[in-house]
Amino acid sequence: MLSALPTSTVEAAHADLQRRTLSKIPGNFARLIYLASTRDYNSARYYHSGLADRYSLNAAEKALELAHREVFRELATSALADLAHELELYMRSTRENPSDFFRAWQDVEPFRVVVPVGTHPTSAALFISNVRFALAVLRSNLKSPQGH
Amino acid sequence: MSEAATIVVLVFLAFVVFGGLFLLWRKPPAALDELDERDRSAPSAGPWAECPHAVIDRIFASGDSGFVRANGSERLCRAFERDRRQIALHWVWSAFDETHRILARHFRAVRSSPDLSISLEAKLVAEVLLHQILCLMLLAAIRIAGPEGLARLAGAVGNLRHQVGIVAEGFPVSAGGDFSKNSGLHIPS
C-alpha cells in the first residue's frame, strides 16, 4: 500500500517534517523519542495530523517511518561517548531531576520501545546495550562528577 | 609438493576445520535469548537480511570500551566487555547460520533445474566455505580476545556474506524457483 505512493510526495513530506519539526528538537535522542511517540503502540503505524493534512495519511506515515529509521540508524552506529552526550542532552531537555530520570530509565527501560519495527536484531541489541551503558556512565558521573 | 603431502595437508586442514566446528559448535552461554526471539520474528528479516556494515563496525570498534573504562567502575567495564562479546558472538553465529540456510535453500531450489551452471555453483560453494571458515576464525578470536580490534576480519565476513547473498540472488528465477516454498519463510508481497 505504502510502496504505491509517489516517491516525491513522501520525500516532500519527509523534508517538511525535517524543516518544521525535527530541526527544532535539540539532539538526535530527543528526535528519536519524538518520532517513536508518533507510532501507535498497537498497530505500529505512524500518525501526524499536520503532516497528514498537508500531504496524505500514507505519505505522512511513510515520512515519519523513514525519519525514525534514519535517526535510529545514526544513534545505533554512533560511538558510545556520542550516544552518552545525546542522552545527556535529552535528559536536560526533559527538566526532570537527573536522579529520578536515571532511576526511571534504568528501571523501566523506555528506550526499548523506540526501536523501529523490522530493525536487524543485532542493531537493536547494540543500541539497547549502548543506552544501558551510557546511562550507567552518566549516573556514575552524577554521583562523582569528573567531566568527560 | 608431492601428491601424498598435498593429501596430508588437505586432511590436516579438514581436521582443523571440523575440530574448530566441534569446539565452537556451541552458542554463547547466555545466547541472548531475546535476540534469538527477535531473529525469528523480525518482519523485515527476509531471506537475505543483513546486518548494516556500520553496526558491525561499531560492535568491533575499539573506542567504546575506552570510554567506559575512563568513566565507569571496573565492574561496569567487565559488564560492558561481556555484553559486547555476546553481541559480537551472536552476530557471527547468525551470519554463519544464515549463510548455511542460503546454501541449503539454494541447493533445494536448483536440484531440478535444467540450466545448472557448474561454475556459478562452484563459486557459490567456495564463497560459502570461505565465509564459514572466516566465521569460525572470528568466533575463536572473539572468545579468546573479545571483539575489540577485529573490525577488519568482521568486515571481511560481512562483505563475504553480502557477496554470497548477491551470488545466490543472481541465479536465474527458473533455476532459483520459489525459495519460500516449504521453507517456512514469509515473503511480504
A56 touches chain B (CB under 8 A): no
Query: CA-CA distances (angstroms) from residue A36 to A77, B122, B134, B165?
Result: 18, 46, 38, 31
When pLDDT is averaged across residues B146-175 and rounded to a whole number, the result is: 81
Report CA dihedral (B56, B153, B137, B14) to the nearest 10 degrees: 120
pLDDT in tens, B81-116: 999 999 999 999 999 998 998 888 888 888 777 777
The verdict on residue B189 lying in a domain is no
Of the candidates B52, B71, B94, which has its C-beta nearest A148's C-beta?
B71
B87–A122 CB contact, under 8 Å: yes
**Could you tell me the residue range of the domain that residue B44 belongs to?**
3-176
| pLDDT 10s digits, A39-69 | 999 999 999 999 999 999 999 999 999 999 9
CA–CA min distance B181, chain A (Å): 22
Asked if B102 and B168 touch (Cβ cutoff 8 Å), the reply is yes
Closest CB to B76 among A117, A136, A148: A136
Q: B184 in a domain, yes or no?
A: no
Residue A39: phi and psi, rounded to 5, are -100, 130
A70 has pLDDT over 90: yes
pLDDT of B182 higher than 50: no
Q: Does A118 touch chain B (CB under 8 A)?
A: yes
What is the distance of C-alpha A73 from the center of its chain? 10
A130 neighbourhood in chain B, CB within 8 Å: 64
Question: Given this model, what pLDDT does residue B112 score?
Answer: 74
Instruction: Quote the pLDDT of residue A33.
Output: 96
Interface touch B39/A117, C-beta < 8 Å: no
Interchain contact, A120 vs B52, CB within 8 Å: yes
Q: Determine the residue type at B175.
A: A
The tens digit of pLDDT for each residue in A98-148 reads 999 999 999 999 999 999 999 999 999 999 999 999 999 999 888 776 544
Closest CA to A40 of A21, A20, A1, A68: A68
- The DSSP-derived string for chain B is --HHHHHHHHHHHHHHHHHHHHHH-S--SS--HHHHHHHHH-TT--TT----HHHHHHHT-SHHHHHHHHHS-HHHHHHHHHHHHHHHHHHHHHHHHHHHHHHHHHHHHHTT-SS--HHHHHHHHHHHHHHHHHHHHHHHHHHHH-STT-HHHHHHHHHHHHHHHHHHHTS-HHHH--TTTTTT-----
Best to test chain A binding among B38, B40, B55 (most A CBs inside 10 Å)? B55
What share of chain B in percent tops pLDDT 70? 67
Calculate the alpha carbon distances from B21 to A112, B42, B124, B133, B146 in Å. 35, 28, 20, 9, 19
Overall number of domains in chain B: 1
Residue B152 has pLDDT above 50, yes or no: yes
Q: Kindly report, residue by residue over B34-77, the tens digit of the pLDDT.
A: 554 444 444 444 444 678 899 999 999 988 999 999 988 899 99
pLDDT of amino acid B166: 82
Q: Are B123 and B65 in contact (CB under 8 A)?
A: no
In a domain, B181, yes or no: no
Residue A113 touches chain B, beta carbons under 8 Å:
no
Q: How confident is the model at residue A6 (pLDDT cuts 50, 70, 90)?
A: confident
Residue B110 lies in a domain: yes
Average predicted confidence (pLDDT) for chain B: 76
Rounded to the nearest angstrom, the minimum Cα separation between B111 and chain A is: 31
pLDDT, greater one: A7 or B161: B161
Half-sphere exposure of B51 (CA within 13 A, CB side): 31
Question: Cell numbers 559486547 correspond to what residue?
Answer: B84
Distance from CA of A104 to the nearest CA of B (A): 19
- Of A132, A28, A77, the C-alpha closest to B54 is A77
Residue of B nearest to A122 (CA): B91
More confident residue, B171 or A83: A83
Nearest residue of chain B to residue A146 (CA atoms): B71
Nearest Cα of chain A lies from the Cα of B84 at a distance, in angstroms, of 8
pLDDT: which is higher, B27 or A137? A137
Cβ pair A61, A2 in contact under 8 A: yes
B28 band by pLDDT with thresholds 50, 70 and 90? low
Residue B171 lies in a domain: yes
A72-91, pLDDT tens digit by residue?
Answer: 999 999 999 999 999 999 99
Q: CB distance from A84 to chain B under 8 Å?
A: yes
* Cell numbers representing residue B149 in the block: 580490534
